[in-house]
Amino acid sequence: MWSVVDAKQRSSRRRRETSAAKQKLADAVFAQAPPVSPQTISAVVRDLRRTSEALRGVMFVRRDVLAPLRQFLESHCEGCARVHLIALGIGPFSRQESRSGFLQMALFLALKKECEGALRRRSTPPGPAAAVRARVDASPGTKATGFSCEGSSALCTSFFDPAAGEFHACCCEKLGVRVETENRCGAYAPADPHALLIAYLPHSPWALLRNLLASNLLPCRDSAAVGQVGQLRSTLVIGNDLRGRAPPTDDFMEKLVPYLRFGRLRAELERGKLRCVDEAEELDGATPGGPRGLSRNDVGCAFSDTAVMQLNTELEAELLEALPRLRIPPLVCGGPEVVS
């Protein structure tokens, strides 16, 4: 009897082999990580900043990413207390480790600069600092784990990836990005009705995106807002395009699609190169000519199947009415779903 129970508690051979293969892959990624030296860190930071400025001059980035972000910030600037910008799932981001991760981190820095510019331009001063909390359990009566930004800055920029190490943390520190120490599996939601959340999840596991959307559909205990669907109105997501790409078994995200507005990233070529903004146009400090040392295939891989998603406010009342039928799923906080 005991031997039978013991055998059932062991993982299967296939699962053990899969786990060992993933561990080897993770070890290989860490083996490629640059050494943690001030010179290497400074070089990677300079490279990321240059590429970020170059991306801001690329036509599809300005049209499909920065313009919707600017419009979102301007439409919510009245009474906005704080903007929280977070990146999940980028992975190791030096050019040596991953060109996709490098480009995605460069775009994240472009998002950061756009947020900084929008906050500088707004006419009203920021209100009291608002926290952003992470929900770790969707069960009623469970207290959410606190997640707040230190200081009084109107913009809080955070990064988390389980594959990131000390080298990436040092780079983030120089870039003005805070590295999260706790894996919250995508369960982030504004804790204040006047706080905005901009989540960048490029090619992340579907479970993280589902957790993020579910967290922002749950009622906010700190706000008595009537007629609003959780904090989804205050959330902008840049990540996997839900339309036709979500797992067929994920009924929740499929039902949520009609209530969202989508803007797909569409990289355009001009004479075999990425189409960039004309130098005569206002570039806001962006570098003309596009990112150097990277092919159009690198750009295509980094930003494929990605869309800017937000609540369609015209359908918010309908979503509020349909919410009981959506059956918000429990948050997934572990297992292969959140790492694959």
* Closest by CA position to 207, among listed 311, 338, 296: 338
Helices 38-55 and 99-121 pack at an angle, to 10 degrees, of 70
Proportion of the chain above pLDDT 70, given as a percent: 66
Could you give phi then psi for residue 262, rounded to 5 degrees?
-120, 145
**Six-digit token pair at 303?**
């930003």
Which residues have a Cβ under 8 Å from the Cβ of 38 and sit 6 or more positions away? none
Is the domain 2-9+36-120+153-268+294-325 a CATH 3.40.50 member?
Answer: yes
Q: Give SS3 for 191.
A: coil
Which of the residue ranges 4-13, 86-95, 178-187 would you say has the lowest mean pLDDT? Answer: 4-13
Q: Is residue 150 within 8 Å of residue 77, measured between CB atoms?
A: no
Proportion of the chain above pLDDT 90, given as a percent: 30
What's the CA gap between 228 and 233, in Å, rounded? 7
What's the CA gap between 249 and 307, in Å, rounded? 21
Q: What is the pLDDT of residues 273-292, one digit of tens each?
A: 566 554 434 445 555 556 77
Residue 336 has pLDDT above 60, yes or no: no
Q: Is residue 120 within 8 Å of residue 74, measured between CB atoms?
A: no
What is the average pLDDT across 152-180? Answer: 90
Which of the residue ranges 60-64, 74-78, 107-111, 177-181 would you say has the lowest mean pLDDT? Answer: 74-78
Place of tokens 């205990």: 221
What is the average pLDDT across 296-316? Answer: 89
What is the average pLDDT across 226-241? Answer: 81
pLDDT, residue 270, reads 53
What is the average pLDDT across 301-322? Answer: 90
pLDDT, residue 281, reads 47
pLDDT, residue 325, reads 82
Which of the residue ranges 70-84, 203-217, 226-240, 244-258 would you say has the lowest mean pLDDT? Answer: 244-258
Question: H or E stretch including 275?
Answer: none
Please state, as a whole number, how many other Cβ atoms lie within 10 Å of the Cβ of residue 115: 22
Specify the pairing of strand 132-134 against strand 188-190: antiparallel
* Closest by CA position to 211, among listed 239, 179, 245, 177: 239
Which of the residue ranges 77-91, 203-217, 239-253 would you say has the lowest mean pLDDT? Answer: 239-253
pLDDT, residue 85, reads 94
Residue 18, Cα to own-chain centre: how many angstroms?
27
pLDDT, residue 140, reads 37
What's the CA dihedral at 326, 331, 334, 338 to 10 degrees? 60
- 230 versus 101: which is more confidently predicted? 101
Which of the residue ranges 32-36, 56-60, 294-298 would you say has the lowest mean pLDDT? Answer: 32-36
Domain ranges for the chain, please list them. Answer: 2-9+36-120+153-268+294-325
What's the CA gap between 218 and 209, in Å, rounded? 15
What's the CA gap between 138 and 157, in Å, rounded? 25
CA atoms within 13 A on the CB side of 226: 0
